[in-house]
Amino acid sequence: MATIYINSMSIIAPGIMDRTQALSILRGECDWQHVPMGNITPGLLPANERRRTTALIKLALKAGQEAMLASGEEYAVASVFASSESDPDITDKICKALLLEDKPVSPTQFHNSVFNAAAGYWAIAAKSKKPSVSLSAGDASFTTGLLEAVSQVIVDAEPVLLVAYDYPAPPLLDAMWHIDFPYATALLLSSRKSDNCLASITVEAASDGVQPSMCASQSLEIMRHGNPVARSLPLLEAIAAEREGTVILPYINQQTVLVRVWP
Amino acid sequence: MPIPSLKITAASLVNALGRGKTGVWQNISREESGLRQARYPGLEFETWIGEVEAAAAYPLEVKLDKFNCRNNRLAKLGLDSDGFRDAVENAKQKYGASRIGVFMGTSTSGIEETEKAYRHMDRERLPQDFDMLHTHNIASVQAYTQASLGLNGVGMTISTACSSSAKVFASAQRHIMAGYCDAAVVGGVDSLCLTTLYGFHSLQLVSAQPCQPWDQDRQGINIGEAAGYALLEKDNRDAPGCRLLGYGESSDAYHMSTPHPQGDGAVLAMQQALARAGLSADAIGYINLHGTATHSNDSAEDVAISRVFKNPLACSSTKGFTGHTLGAAGITEIVFACLALEAGLLPANINFRQRDPAFKTTVLTENKRQVIDYAMSNSFGFGGTNCSVIVGR
């Protein structure tokens, strides 16, 4: 199993708006509290582009930006964007427009409706012409994004930014797919250990019949159930802890993925 | 940085040209288009579409009925064509069901079900029987394919607009190289829906006439629907079938719905595909163009090709046959490239009448008999996503 270095990490969620906050909550120095989230401004994106983005896109971009800023590395790296549902708010708006006379779908909303919209804006913001994959595997989207990012690092030996994110749906769709709060996380993975490196990992696919890990912190364990992407939290806790350990992440088909973590 | 090649040991196609590769290729050989004047519930402007009529009612397996939507019905049509299921059964015997990954591409998945649910809204509630997670969710087509084939290895749905089912070849290749699976089912499925019809219409990118890729008077796309699958295994040179030789991926970092005018991202994707295949540009005998027939796409792709390929070569867009099948365009056209290699027949760019004086590259105005060794397929999409794939005999 190839060793992958986690050179940076970020979380953006209610009550976690920057990296310092994220690390102290992940290390158990304080509890996570659900403080309603204000407007997010990913400063990296030019204002005229930012105006056209949605709350979900801003959330994803902010997580990516925090991780790259902390890494001290070039922003133009390959990327993997993972989300269960992408932008339910846009789906809602387009489906409502289709009910009106002449079906006035907004052109901006339509181009924002592509699942890879966040990745497209990220490429513009980061001025990155590098490859980018946007993927979904439902509730297992974070773990699936991690496998894709690790595969890329193994095959291409270049750094990869993984951004995973999900945003609550508006009322009509919320009845079909409910999540408690917005949550995004970003990891910078590499085959080279940087000065800011947080942890080393190996990732093994599909071990059967084992239960996924829970969070060590009780408050984070509550958070883990509130958003599909928050299933990443046991791994992020282990990375922040700077101790050796093993994390089991839930994957597709009731299977799991085993991540070995060490400082 | 050449990579080990993979063998494409089976493939299936369903699109406006027919069900199964034989029927589809027969129509290409006769230069007969599958496009028809559009009739689709709720569509109130004039255009042409590439429809698969059977997708309206084809039944899913009873135990998988929760996945029932136009997109997964189209997926099942693809799985039931060209002996694809038998090929996967053989692969299961060889590798085991947990060692075969499933990598699917789609742009809109089963969103037609969500559109329907909104139409049947009652007192601010969507109907109780609407199952968003198994139909509309992007992961649905991968979960359905995996369940239908009885596979339980790694998997994902890639959704990068019109490059989705070209990029599945790249991700599958990486997962095999990293050891996460031994073989892979890759595919793409996209189905007609009002979201894409009216969405592209709002951007003034839909043609009221049959689409005319590369033509001076091109007026935009015709939307099509399609399913396609391929089975990838580690290369055994003696086995029959085409080989996946290389892929290249890039981002434009330019605009959400307009390609970079000089085709910067497309150039990178093509160059990287050549480098991974270990081939020079001169080795490529045919390019299946992205060629959507929008003004900006065709002109950016023309510039990009002229930057990578210094000598003239055979090119065509097959979207005049099938329409633009969006998230299924990659798999459809990569399998077309394989069929062109196997048959020694390069498809015409139908509906082409007049050369754009600004263009440097020319397209095949009729089918051409020519035996070639290597072909490239281009797929580009909204969000500035680019993917080129090279196949060889």
ipTM attached to this prediction:
0.98
Mutate to test the interface with A, among B142, B201, B251, B271 (most CBs of A within 10 A): B251
For residues A244-259, give the mean pLDDT: 94
In whole angstroms, give the CA distance from residue B317 to residue B249. 20
Pairs of residues, one from chain A and one from chain B, whose beta carbons lie less than 8 Å apart: 211
- Is the pLDDT confidence value at A238 over 70? yes
Q: Tell which B residues from 181 to 240 touch A, by Cβ distance under 8 Å.
A: 181, 194-195, 198-203
- Residue B120 falls in the annotated catalytic set: no
B1 assigned to some structural domain: no
Q: Do B210 and A187 form a contact (C-beta atoms < 8 A)?
A: no
**Residue the block writes with tokens 């990443």:** A232
Are the beta carbons of B126 and A173 separated by less than 8 Å?
A: yes
Q: Is 0.80 surpassed by the pTM of this model?
A: yes
Put simply, the answer to whether B138 touches A115 (Cβ < 8 Å) is yes
SS3 A113: coil
pLDDT at B213: 98
Percent helix / strand / coil, chain B, rounded to 5: 35, 20, 40
Nearest residue of A to residue B158 by CA position?
A135
Distance of alpha carbon B92 from alpha carbon B87, whole angstroms: 9
What is the separation of C-alpha B357 from the centre of its chain, rounded to a whole number of angstroms? 29
Q: Are B271 and B386 in contact (CB under 8 A)?
A: no
Task: Please answer yes or no on whether A151 and B381 come within 8 Å at the CB atom.
Answer: no
Within a domain: residue B133?
yes
Given a cut of 70, whether residue A168 has pLDDT beyond it is yes
Would you call A120 and B383 a contact, using CB atoms and an 8 Å cutoff? yes
Evaluate whether B101 touches B185 at the Cβ level (below 8 Å): yes
Nearest-CA distance A218 → chain B (Å): 29
Query: All domains of chain A, ordered by start, with CATH?
Result: 4-198 (3.40.47.10)
DSSP B257-305: SS--TT-HHHHHHHHHHHHHHT--GGG--EEE----S-HHHHHHHHHHH
Task: Say what the pLDDT of residue A200 is.
Answer: 98
Quick check: A81 pLDDT over 70?
yes
DSSP H helices, chain A, are 19-26, 47-50, 55-71, 88-97, 107-112, 117-126, 141-156, 171-174, 218-224, 233-241
Q: Note which residues in 28-67 of chain B have CB less than 8 A from chain A.
A: 42, 44
Sequence-distant (6+) residues with CB within 8 A of B106 are: B71, B138, B141, B157, B159, B164, B165, B188, B189, B190, B327, B328
Residues of B in contact with A97 (CB under 8 A): 198
Q: So what's the pLDDT on residue A1?
A: 83
The CA distance from B368 to the nearest CA of chain A, in Å, is: 34
Cα–Cα distance measured from residue A35 to residue A41, given in angstroms and rounded to the nearest whole number? 17
Q: How far is B32 from chain A (nearest CA, A)?
A: 32
Residue B118 and residue A98: Cβ atoms within 8 Å? Answer: yes
A103 and B198 within 8 Å at the Cβ level: the answer is yes
Is B139 in contact with A137 (Cβ distance < 8 A)? yes
pLDDT at B126: 97
Average pLDDT, chain A: 95
* pLDDT at residue A254 tops 90: no
Chain A neighbors of B263, CB-CB under 8 A: none
Whether residue B203 and residue A110 make contact (CB cut-off 8 A), yes or no, is yes
Residue of B nearest to A119 (CA): B383
Q: Chain A closest CA to B382's CA: distance in Å? A: 7
Say whether B162 is catalytic: yes
Pairing mode of beta strands B36-37, B48-50: antiparallel
- CATH number, domain of B256, equals 3.40.47.10
Beta partners for residue A260, in sequence order = A202, A246
**Beta strand segments in B21-120, E:** 36-37, 48-50, 100-105
Number of domains in chain B: 1
Provide, as residue numbers in chain B, all residues whose Cβ is less than 8 Å from the Cβ of A75: none
- Stretches where chain B sits below pLDDT 70 are none
pLDDT of amino acid B239: 76
Burial B187-214 (b: 16+ CB within 10 A, else e): bbbbbbbbbbbbbbbbbebbbebbbbbb
Q: What is the pLDDT of residue B42?
A: 97
Best B168, B180, B386 member to test A by mutation, with max A CBs in 10 Å, is B180
In chain A, residues with a C-beta closer than 8 Å to the C-beta of B42 are: 98, 103
Residues of B in contact with A124 (CB under 8 A): 253-256, 384
Of the candidates B154, B158, B177, which has its C-beta nearest A155's C-beta?
Answer: B177
**Can you give the pLDDT at residue A207?**
67
Residue B360: its pLDDT value, please? 97
Closest Cβ opposite residue A94 in set B142, B195, B381: B195
B268–A contact, CB cutoff 8 A: yes
Query: Are A252 and B155 a contacting pair at CB < 8 A?
Result: yes
Phi-psi bin for B100: left (phi > 0), alpha (psi -120 to 50), beta?
Answer: beta
> Is there a domain that residue B132 lies in?
yes
Q: What does the block give as tokens for B344? A: 């020694």
Alpha-carbon distance of B189 to B54, in angstroms, equals 14
Share of chain A above pLDDT 90, in %: 88
B263 touches chain A (CB under 8 A): no
- List Cα–Cα distances, B42 to A92, A98, B16, in angstroms: 18, 9, 20
Answer yes or no: are the C-beta atoms of B311 and B328 closer than 8 Å: no
Each residue's pLDDT tens digit, A119-167: 999 999 999 999 999 999 999 999 999 999 999 999 999 999 999 999 9
How close B191 comes to chain A (CA, Å)?
A: 15
Alpha-carbon distance A96 to nearest alpha carbon in chain B (angstroms): 7
Q: Is residue B77 part of a domain?
A: yes
Is B137 in the A-facing interface, judged by CB distances under 8 Å?
A: yes
Judge: B143–A144 Cβ closer than 8 Å, yes or no. Answer: no
Exactly one of B69, B136, B162, B260 is catalytic; name it.
Answer: B162
State the best of A74, A87, A103 to mutate against chain B, taking most chain B CBs within 10 Å: A103
Task: List the domain range (segments joined by +) for residue B357.
Answer: 6-392
Q: One of B134, B136, B175, B290 is an active-site residue; which one?
A: B290
Question: Does A38 score more than 90 pLDDT?
Answer: no
- Residue A245, min C-alpha distance to chain B (Å): 22
At A198-228, the pLDDT tens digits run 999 999 986 677 899 999 999 999 999 999 9
Q: Do A95 and B118 touch (CB under 8 A)?
A: yes
